[in-house]
Structure 1
Amino acid sequence: MKGPDRPAFTNRHPEISTAGKEFTRMSRDSDTTFARAVNVLPGGTTRMTTFVAPHPPYAAFGKGCEVTDTDGHTTIDCNNNYTSLIHGHADDRLVETAYRVAQRGTAFGLPTPYEVEMAEHLRDRSGIEHWRFCNSGTEAVMMLFRAARAYTGRDIVIRFDGSYHGTYESVVNPVGAAGIPKSTYESVVVLPQRDLAALENTMATIGDRVAAVLIDLVPSRAGLHPASQHYIDRLRELTSANGALLAVDEVISFRLAYGGFHKQYGITPDLVSVAKIIGGGYPVGGIGGPAAILESFSPLDGAVVWGGTYSANPVTLATGLEAMRRYDADAIARLNAMGDRLRQRLADGGVSVRGVGSLTQLTLEDADSAWWSMYSNGVLASRTGMLSLSTPMTDTHIDTIADAVLRSQAIVREPAR
């Protein structure tokens, strides 16, 4: 149905926070935009992750580490498009690079030198030999699954409950989610997080049928708890002993260490998936691995046919390369230290907090209430309570973020000692 005959949008979140009600009551443009949105978009949004009840504000523009919505409210952006904007918004050098390259053509039915240069940079940075590019983290995981199965000739992939690997049906939580065929889980085994006994028992039972074990070493949706060194060492032993591949999802964690967070564990994955920061603010994804594994994708004699109209897009890879060159070891160390300082300030203020480097996880009593409270106090966070830092931030920004979070409601506080 269209126009006036369409049923009115029903708010399914009557428990929304006072902060959210008050903020949207004062808003103007965002109310009008949302009223239009529900007539053409399911629930009024394309990205479920950006929705917060009763409806989200709409971004108007961003610069540096700040973003302003269409109602004129400015916040420090600790969402950074879900960790992808490592240099914040509208960075002058990145904008100039994108403009310069776009003037020469935005996409071609030919490869460009930019994909070669990006692959060389990632090889030199990580020590991982070969690379292949796509358009998102979800696509990267899809490609990773295909690479592992093509190389091993096996079907089963093991992953861990609660880790987010995109929207590919084989990695969607919870198991049995709407729209996912039951047959999917004939080839995907989901194990509990950090349960070594479950992993060992599963590998002892079906290890010779496993193509890969996919792990996020510091899973954002599972609380940013880093895996233990012992667990990862044992995982490496089990995969090697059974002829399975160790696949590490570095879509988010690639920002935490030069060459990838797996470097912190002293392991060499068989496959990695990357995205987010390597695109310089543009859609991107990729996988890396030894030549022998990625050879399946070779158009010369590979068994896997995989295209992608915008894969290895020149604007994306040129801008991403500029972003990565600037995000060197010193920049990583600086941003990680700022994250440590933020967590210390929050912990000193009694907030339940954890995280690694430039990523911080808050514990929330109610996601919507906490989100609106932080937003009203000048901080844009993810709805899950994750705070992601960007290079334009200074120590002053960190203090402002900490003060805002400490003022916010629905953030879990530790019991007073």
Structure 2
Amino acid sequence: MTGIPASEPASTSSISAVSDQLAAAQGRGSAAILDGYSRSVMNTFGPPKRVFVRGEGCNVWDVEGRKHLDLLSGLAVNALGHAHPTVLSAITGQIATLGHVSNFFATPSQVALAERLTGLVRPEPVEGPGALRQAQGSVEAKVFFANSGTEANEAAFKITRQTGRTRIISTEGSFHGRSMGALAVTHNPKYREPFEPLPGDVEFIPYGDVDALRAAVDDRTAAVVLEPIQGENGIVVPPDGYLAEARRITSEAGALLWIDEVQTGMGRTGRWLDSSREGVVPDVVTLAKGLGNGFPIGACIALGPAAALLGPGSHGSTFGGNPVAAIAGLAVIAVIERDRLLDNATAMGDRLAANITALDHALVDHVRGRGLLRGVVLTSDVAPAVADAALDAGFIINAPRPNVLRIAPPLIITAEQIDSFTEALPMLLGRAQGARA
């Protein structure tokens, strides 16, 4: 019999070899690493602006040792910041025990996470104008595990095709991913047109417009797909009651309501699901980003009759729901609960918005969003220049629109860290304005 016994520890020499390779790569410096990137990595993202090598809490350090406050969380992914000890312990403990077995088999962490997620999508009843009163646990819910938000949305797209209808209503400004199915319900022509023809029978209507939604949905509609807040479109918030009306309209037409919570979910806006704010229970909800705190995971959760639309052989994923990804999701949920991070997301998001509004700066029009998903709307198209100035000053933000800054820090962000950014913001705005002049 040949091979290394599973119980045999890794040799010192092999670990040292890996460490030496990593040290050699880091020792090349930014210029050399970025040159290697341009030669060996497909140019799908453009040239990287920094080379980061370490993270802790809300901070990351580049290869030259410069510290940056991460106010983007890897695009709303690192809900607990970097190198969180609970997540790190859970992942390393699980992979040291069992890393992957395929979906021919079940694992305890996979089932435990599925049970937690199905509980999260069934909110308590809420009161207020436009709210839907639905009892917790009143409908069945089941999960398909994937590796990303795009994959979760692909699963949701396939669920809609099992209804016997094909027509999907999406919205202008929407973003649901870049694979062919997810792209079909994404509005941005820049992303769509190079890959057309896409899966068809998708209609785009104005976001937040109840009358347009009511006019578009009929007995041919398979599903309406909505984001509770449009993230990539610049943190656009719909009018109050919009999701509740979408629930009523789709129910009356026998269509599915598919809510994409990939960016808004897992506490980002101060709730597990932003759609629960109006008591909405969708037929399909998709999650990813903050669920794994950087470990790849996505989830498509279907409720009621939609939970039975995918059967054996109708969909699959080699890595989806593996025990390491599942334990990461369980750890994230546990920490958010233990440390009351939903409350912190609300409080720190309100502080951020209030601080920026109080600046009364000529370049700032207003701040929109909820919790720790905020868009700073500018009076001029200088957002990319502001984001560059922020990076040079040690703050990571981005510009999803020419006139909008996106700020989505880890849910563990402190008041002192929020204040350090807002105190620096006038200087960053001034630099951007000066660069444009």
TM-score > 0.5, shorter chain as reference: yes
Shift of the 244–343 alpha-carbon distance from structure 1 to 2, 3 Å rule, reads same
Encode CA deviations 1:67-119: one digit per residue, 9 max, x unaligned.
01112221110111111111100011111111100111321122211111001
Shift of the 209–175 alpha-carbon distance from structure 1 to 2, 3 Å rule, reads farther
More divergent stretch after superposition (87-96 vs 31-40): 31-40
Alignment of 1:169-180 (within 5 A): 169-175=183-189, 177-180=192-195
> Deviation of residue 367 (structure 1)?
3.9
Q: 1:130 is paired with a residue of what secondary structure?
A: strand
Partners in 2 of 1:167 and 1:183 — Cα distance?
A: 11
Shift of the 194–342 alpha-carbon distance from structure 1 to 2, 3 Å rule, reads same
Query: Equivalent residue for 1:408?
Result: 428
Contact kept, 8 Å, 1:62 with 1:90, in 2: the verdict is: yes
78, 86, 93: which one aligns with 1:100: 93
Q: 2:410 is paired with a residue of what secondary structure?
A: coil
> Deviation of residue 183 (structure 1)?
5.1
Alignment of 1:352-391 (within 5 A): 352=365, 353-364=367-378, 365-384=381-400, 385-391=405-411
Query: Equivalent residue for 2:131?
Result: none
What one-letter code is carried by the residue in structure 2 that aligns with 1:282?
F
> Deviation of residue 198 (structure 1)?
2.4
What one-letter code is carried by the residue in structure 2 that aligns with 1:42?
M
Encode CA deviations 1:309-349: one digit per residue, 9 max, x unaligned.
10001111102101112212932012211110011101111
Q: 2:331 is paired with a residue of what secondary structure?
A: helix
Contact kept, 8 Å, 1:335 with 1:389, in 2: the verdict is: no
Does 2:262 match 1:236? no
Alignment of 1:15-414 (within 5 A): 29-43=29-43, 48=45, 51=46, 55-109=48-102, 110-127=105-122, 129-150=141-162, 152-168=163-179, 169-175=183-189, 177-182=192-197, 184=199, 186-203=200-217, 207-254=218-265, 255=267, 256-299=269-312, 305-328=314-337, 330-350=340-360, 351-352=364-365, 353-364=367-378, 365-384=381-400, 385-409=405-429
Partners in 2 of 1:336 and 1:251 — Cα distance?
A: 18
More divergent stretch after superposition (266-275 vs 378-387): 378-387
> Deviation of residue 35 (structure 1)?
1.6
Shift of the 411–147 alpha-carbon distance from structure 1 to 2, 3 Å rule, reads farther
Encode CA deviations 1:193-232: one digit per residue, 9 max, x unaligned.
22333222222xxx11111000001111223232223332
Contact kept, 8 Å, 1:257 with 1:264, in 2: the verdict is: no
Partners in 1 of 2:242 and 2:388 — Cα distance?
A: 37
Contact kept, 8 Å, 2:72 with 2:410, in 1: the verdict is: no
Encode CA deviations 1:136-161: one digit per residue, 9 max, x unaligned.
000011101111221x2111111111
Task: Give the TM-score of the pair, scaled to structure 2.
Answer: 0.79
Partners in 2 of 1:291 and 1:237 — Cα distance?
A: 15
What one-letter code is carried by the residue in structure 1 that aligns with 2:389?
S
Q: 2:55 is paired with a residue of what secondary structure?
A: strand
Task: Give the TM-score of the pair, scaled to structure 1.
Answer: 0.83
Q: 2:195 is paired with a residue of what secondary structure?
A: coil
Contact kept, 8 Å, 1:339 with 1:389, in 2: the verdict is: no
Structure 2 residue ranges without an equivalent (≥5): 1-27, 123-139
> Deviation of residue 411 (structure 1)?
8.8
Shift of the 323–233 alpha-carbon distance from structure 1 to 2, 3 Å rule, reads closer
Q: 1:117 is paired with a residue of what secondary structure?
A: helix
What one-letter code is carried by the residue in structure 2 that aligns with 1:201?
A
Contact kept, 8 Å, 1:160 with 1:192, in 2: the verdict is: yes
Encode CA deviations 1:219-275: one digit per residue, 9 max, x unaligned.
112232322233323322221111111111111111224441111012211110111
Contact kept, 8 Å, 1:126 with 1:258, in 2: the verdict is: no
Identical aligned pairs, as a percentage? 26
Contact kept, 8 Å, 1:366 with 1:410, in 2: the verdict is: no
Contact kept, 8 Å, 2:386 with 2:432, in 1: the verdict is: no
Structure 1 residue ranges without an equivalent (≥5): 1-27
Q: 2:178 is paired with a residue of what secondary structure?
A: coil
Shift of the 391–175 alpha-carbon distance from structure 1 to 2, 3 Å rule, reads closer
Contact kept, 8 Å, 2:169 with 2:216, in 1: the verdict is: no
